[in-house]
Structure 1
């Protein structure tokens, strides 16, 4: 864990902490959490952990957003969500288009009892996370794509619904398919969980941590650096009065 965090600081320099997400299937988390038994969204859980390093834990009863709760397996997806009622005439023009979007949205099929989030900088004892979630800018996202492709090459494909960003893609898709994702934070994440205009969600399975670190570090050593160094020109076209002259020396 320390090696991964040190690699992040050397190669990517994220503004907020990477967040570990643990999904409890058969039991509940019985440890201490700064935020617990409070009505919040999945994206807000992640915000507490990435901004403040606070551990959070919610159950179905605590999960405020029906999309986040159903995507992460806390509840069975309600019919009004599956049939597109919730997003009809909001995100899509009719019920057919709305239900088509919901049909393709990643959801965890298992019955999840609770969702724990915490900062990787403050690990929770005896807990191994399922998913790692980070918020980065586009240049840092590029570095992660390069890290994901370092071992096997190929191409990185990104999917998005423009809604339920971090819960459906950053958590559910990664958990379900055990592959890394990039996603655009949704409206709720921005309004209620402080996602910034420039941020992109990066998610990957916990078991990929060493592979991601190797990809970041190896490409860094090969000369792909963040922040990206600009190619500075040797001379500038300044107005005559702003230019240092021989008489000024």
Structure 2
């Protein structure tokens, strides 16, 4: 939990996202949901998982998902609540919406991340500042300038690059399952469903950090900020330049004695 607190402080000081960083935990069999968790079915009806994450980051709720809380069949398959039916394996829910042919849809479906069947019984998401549990993954939503600062922080200690892949759908899998399984940081472009249902803004990206990388990313962000190489807000060089004005302004400037 100490690393979560340190990471939160660094993000608040140096990244300054518009919404709360979100702690996400996969609840295994035999584990209980944290106290005061709100469940969609008890509050409003079934939700898509992305809606719960949005409620955590925008409203500050601690939101839990049991099987009965899910409305999104894609998320249910991604998180191992259900096996993929044969039609899904053949690409029939990707085609015709995101693919020209069922064959193309099948290729996209094969790239969809997933947890083993029945490997988790639930998911809980909460603002990192209020999380009374150890997160498996932390999500930070931000614009491209903020996300690239997190990329720079993640690479500061060991170098390399951030590998991410995109299918335009099922972003909850890329945000949670992929970093959980690979134990690597990822950049995610939110999918169409997350924009429609969870009101994710057009300019928002996501940076996902597995718990084991929180210290490393926090250290890198703080150190690169203090070096002055990159910061939020971006320190545009143009702010230091002498402005150029219309020609007639310079005639008046001469009268004021400020024209060289």
TM-score (norm 2): 0.89
Would you tell me which structure has more helix in proportion to its own residues?
A: 2
Q: Any unmatched runs of 5+ in structure 2?
A: none
Pairs within 5 Å for 1:80-229: 80-111=87-118, 112-124=120-132, 127-165=133-171, 167-223=172-228, 224-229=230-235
C-alpha RMSD of matched pairs (Å): 1.6
Structure 1 position 242, deviation (Å):
3.6
Q: Distance in 1 between matches of 2:182 and 2:91?
A: 24
Pairs within 5 Å for 1:232-247: 232=238, 234-243=241-250, 244-247=252-255
Q: Which has the larger radius of gyration?
A: 2
1:29: which partner in 2?
Answer: 33
Q: Distance in 2 between matches of 1:78 and 1:225?
A: 47
Moved more, 186-195 or 80-89: 80-89
Counterpart secondary structure, 1:49: helix
Give the conservation status (yes or no) of the 8 Å contact 2:136–2:180: yes
Structure 1 position 248, deviation (Å):
3.8
Q: Distance in 2 between matches of 1:10 and 1:140?
A: 12
Q: Distance in 2 between matches of 1:123 and 1:30?
A: 9
Q: Any unmatched runs of 5+ in structure 1?
A: none
Describe the shift of the 1:101–1:16 C-alpha distance in structure 2 as closer, same or farther (beyond 3 A).
same
Q: Distance in 2 between matches of 1:137 and 1:195?
A: 11
Q: How many residues align?
A: 246
Q: Distance in 1 between matches of 2:80 and 2:28?
A: 9
Describe the shift of the 1:105–1:151 C-alpha distance in structure 2 as closer, same or farther (beyond 3 A).
same
User: What whole-Å deviation, never above 9, does each CA across 1:167-206 have from its counterpart, x for those lacking one?
Assistant: 1100111111111111110111101101001111111111
Q: Distance in 1 between matches of 2:232 and 2:208?
A: 19
Q: Distance in 1 between matches of 2:204 and 2:131?
A: 24
